[in-house]
Amino acid sequence: MKRYSAFALAREALTNHLGWERAWANPAPKASYDVIIVGAGGHGLATAYYLGKNHGITNVAILEKGWLGGGNTGRNTTIIRSNYLQDSSAAIYEKSRSLYETLSQDLNYNAMFSPRGVMMLAQTHHEVRGYLRTAHANSLQGVTTEFISPQKVKELCPILNIDGPRYPVLGALWQARGGTGRHDAVAWGYARACSAMGMDIIQNCEVKGVTSANGVVTGVETTKGRIGTRKLGIVVAGHSGQVADMAGFRLPVEAVALQALVSEPIKPCMDVVVMANTVHGYMSQSDKGEMVIGGGTDGFNNFTQRGSFHHIEETLRALIETFPIISRLKMLRQWGGIVDMTGDRSPIISKTPLGNCFINCGWGTGGFKAIPGSGWAMADLMARGEPGPLAEAFDMWRFKEGRFIDESVAAGVAH
């Protein structure tokens, strides 16, 4: 793999950039692999990458129904933060955030992690108490956050109206080391690194069946034929239910659509990421200058990835109240992502009823920020066959025991 650098750019410019090699290979599937990962989104690719990097397992295929990074990895609002309340959540999201810090260097691919800071506004007394609770929890979890005053909020984000008539800002939970990344680049960087380790990324290859013998997985049937494997990792987000069905088990997961939109680009006016959960909306400004806006989820099972209107209407009302200057900007594009919501809205990283078959799903509306940590924990689980401390709490049997990991308790926090 040729290394990327400013020097390489200058060198290739001399030959009009005709010398760049493929970022990832385009192989035909082999007859079998040590590990097959279904789903070449961020989580699947990260799982493969850490299988190779941390565990030396490189005889790996990553199968993708469409194009790599084409699911929620490529259609989210790119927020990265780890200021979660529950210990197990904070552990994996903080692991993830810390991996993001050095991801560009690890992958030799600029994933553009930008720790510009994330603030979650408190606009009711109840929310203030909720975020204070999170701040106390974070202080023990090794997650650096602080509860800041309205004046500090205004300093960090001058376009914010802290004196609205209905929900004046009473403070905010601030994570200075949270921020944003470039979503596509995360998938592409992992894909390039996986390919460089000799792994096969096979796009346009849909899994149609899972084969097993004596309760242990043996392979998958795909649109490109049968492929054998010793271990199978299902990392397909919204389509987890469909693949789990092929593997013979049912999940506590429902797929719903999450709405998002971007405005036309304007010159920089907002450095930080702001989430306003009382009024339901969050916003940041991309490097291109677009205001990136996240809305709510529809309340019904949906696989269409389409934008709908009434959620963004509510979101924009909230955001115009919060950021009055955006009223005259225009919506450039809106879309929906299929998010997989579990019974407690926390993810599943787990063994399954089928031997050597593992599942990673349920990231819901918060998957992008978790990609490196999720891949790290999933790779560990798949390599050793048992969960490590990061994954342990996220097993799929917790619902039977009532052992929920409920993040909504702090203050109705959206991810």
Partner 1 sequence: MLTLECPYCGVMADETELTPGYEAHLKRFGPGSTDEEFEAYMFARKNPKGVHFERWRHAYGCGKWFLAARDTATLEVFGTYPAQSSAPPQALQDKIKAKRPDWKGYK
Partner 2 sequence: MSTRLSKGGRLIDRSAAVEFTFNGKRLRGFKGDTLAASLLANDQMLVGRSFKYHRARGIVASGAEEPNALMNMGAGARLEPNQRATTTETFDGLSAQSQNHWPSLDFDVGVINNAFSRFLPGGFYYKTFIHPRFAWKHVFEPFIRKSAGLGKAPTEMDADRYEQAYAFCDVLVAGGGIAGLQAALAAASGGARVMVLEQAPHWGGRAPVDGDVIEGIPAEAWVKNTVETLEKMPNVTMRSRCMVAGVYDHSYVLAEDRVADHTPGDGRPKKRLWRIRATRIVAATGALERPLSFAGNDIPGVMLASAVRDYVVNWAVSPGDRTVVVTNNDDAYRTAIALKEAGLAVPCIVDARAQADGALPTKARAMGIRIETGKAIAKVKGGKRVTGVALCMQAGEGAALEEISCDVVAMSGGWSPVVHLWSHCGGKLIWDAAAAMFRPDAARPPISHDGLAMVYPAGAANGALHADAALQDAAKAGAAAAGADPIAAAQAEPRDEAPLEPIWVMPQGAGVKLRAKMWLDYQNDVKVSDVQLAAREGYESVEHTKRYTTLGMATDQGKLSNINGLAVLANALNAEIPNVGTTTFRPPYTPVTLGALAGEARGEIFQPLRRTPMHAWHEAHGAYFEPVGLWRRPYCYTRGGENHAQSVEREILNTRGNVGMLDASTLGKLIVKGPDAGRFLDMLYTNVMSNLGIGKCRYGLMCNENGFLSDDGVVVRLAEDTWLCHTTTGGAERIHAHMEDWLQCEWWDWQVYTANVTEEYAQIAVAGPKSRALLEKLGGMDVSAETLPFMTFAEGTLAGLPVRVYRISFSGELSYEIAVPASHGLALWDKLVAAGADLGVQPYGTEAMHVMRAEKGFIMIGDETDGTVVPQDLNLGWAISKKKADYLGKRGQERSYLSSPDRWKLAGFETLDGSVIPDGAYILAQGVNANGQGNTQGRVTSTYYSPTLKKGIAMGLIKGGMDRLGEVVEFTKIGGAPVKARIVDPVFYDKEGARNNG
CB atoms within 10 A of CB 59: 16
Cβ–Cβ < 8 Å for 294, 340: no
Residues 330-359 close enough to bind partner 1 by CB under 8 A:
342-343
Residues 31-90 close enough to bind partner 2 by CB under 8 A:
66-70, 74, 87-88, 90
List 44, 52, 130, 171, residue binding partner 2 (CB under 8 A): 130
User: Is 219 or 337 the residue whose CB approaches partner 2 more closely?
Assistant: 337
211 binds, among partner 2, partner 1, none (CB under 5 to 8 A by kind): none
Q: Across-strand partners of 254?
A: 341
Q: Give burial (CB, 10 Å; 0-12/13-18/19+) of 401.
A: exposed
List 110, 211, 212, 218, residue binding partner 2 (CB under 8 A): 110
Residues 139-168 close enough to bind partner 2 by CB under 8 A:
139-142, 146-147, 159, 164-167
User: Is 156 or 244 the residue whose CB approaches partner 1 more closely?
Assistant: 244
* Total site size for partner 1, rule CB under 8 A: 24
What sign results for the dihedral spanned by CA atoms 320, 325, 329, 335? Answer: negative
Cα angle vertex 310, ends 169, 239, to 5°? 100
**Segment contacting partner 1 (CB under 8 A): 147-155, 162-170, 294-302, 352-360?**
294-302
Tokens of 275: 């989430």
Tokens of 119: 């603030």
149 binds, among partner 2, partner 1, none (CB under 5 to 8 A by kind): none
Residue type present at position 81: R
List 34, 254, 271, 392, residue binding partner 1 (CB under 8 A): 254
110 binds, among partner 1, partner 2, none (CB under 5 to 8 A by kind): partner 2
List 70, 241, 388, 412, residue binding partner 1 (CB under 8 A): 241
Cβ–Cβ < 8 Å for 34, 57: yes
251 binds, among partner 1, partner 2, none (CB under 5 to 8 A by kind): partner 1
Q: How far is the CB of 252 from partner 1 (least distance, A)?
A: 3
- Which residues lie below 8 Å from residue 261, measured CB to CB, with a gap of 6+? 293, 295, 307, 312, 331, 332, 333, 334, 335
**Segment contacting partner 1 (CB under 8 A): 154-162, 278-286, 296-304, 358-366?**
296-304
List 17, 129, 310, 384, residue binding partner 1 (CB under 8 A): 310
* Total site size for partner 2, rule CB under 8 A: 122
List 251, 291, 293, 349, residue binding partner 1 (CB under 8 A): 251
List 139, 149, 223, 304, residue binding partner 1 (CB under 8 A): 304
Q: How far is the CB of 168 from partner 2 (least distance, A)?
A: 9
Cβ–Cβ < 8 Å for 252, 85: no
Residues 381-410 close enough to bind partner 1 by CB under 8 A:
399-401
**Segment contacting partner 1 (CB under 8 A): 87-95, 172-180, 244-252, 352-360?**
244-252
User: Is 219 or 367 the residue whose CB approaches partner 2 more closely?
Assistant: 367
H or E element, residue 296: strand 291-301
For 42, the 3-state DSSP assignment is: helix
List 203, 308, 334, 408, residue binding partner 1 (CB under 8 A): 308
Nearest Cα neighbor of 107 from 187, 7, 41, 8 is 187
Report the interhelical angle of 42-55 vs 183-196 (nearest 10°): 40
Quote the CA–CA distance of 280 and 295 in Å, as a whole number.
Answer: 7
List 56, 213, 267, 300, residue binding partner 1 (CB under 8 A): 300
Distance from the first to the final alpha carbon of the chain: 36
User: Is 70 or 150 the residue whose CB approaches partner 1 more closely?
Assistant: 70
H or E element, residue 229: strand 225-234
Note whether 299 binds partner 1 by CB under 8 A: yes
Residues 221-260 close enough to bind partner 2 by CB under 8 A:
none
User: Is 255 or 273 the residue whose CB approaches partner 1 more closely?
Assistant: 255
CB atoms within 10 A of CB 263: 20
What sign results for the dihedral spanned by CA atoms 185, 188, 191, 195? Answer: negative
252 binds, among partner 2, partner 1, none (CB under 5 to 8 A by kind): partner 1
Quote the CA–CA distance of 267 and 280 in Å, as a whole number.
Answer: 25
Q: How far is CA 307 from CA 73, 334, 348, in A?
A: 17, 6, 27
Report the interhelical angle of 371-384 vs 42-55 (nearest 10°): 50
Q: Which residues bind partner 1 (CB under 8 A)?
A: 239, 241-242, 250-255, 298-304, 308-310, 342-343, 399-401
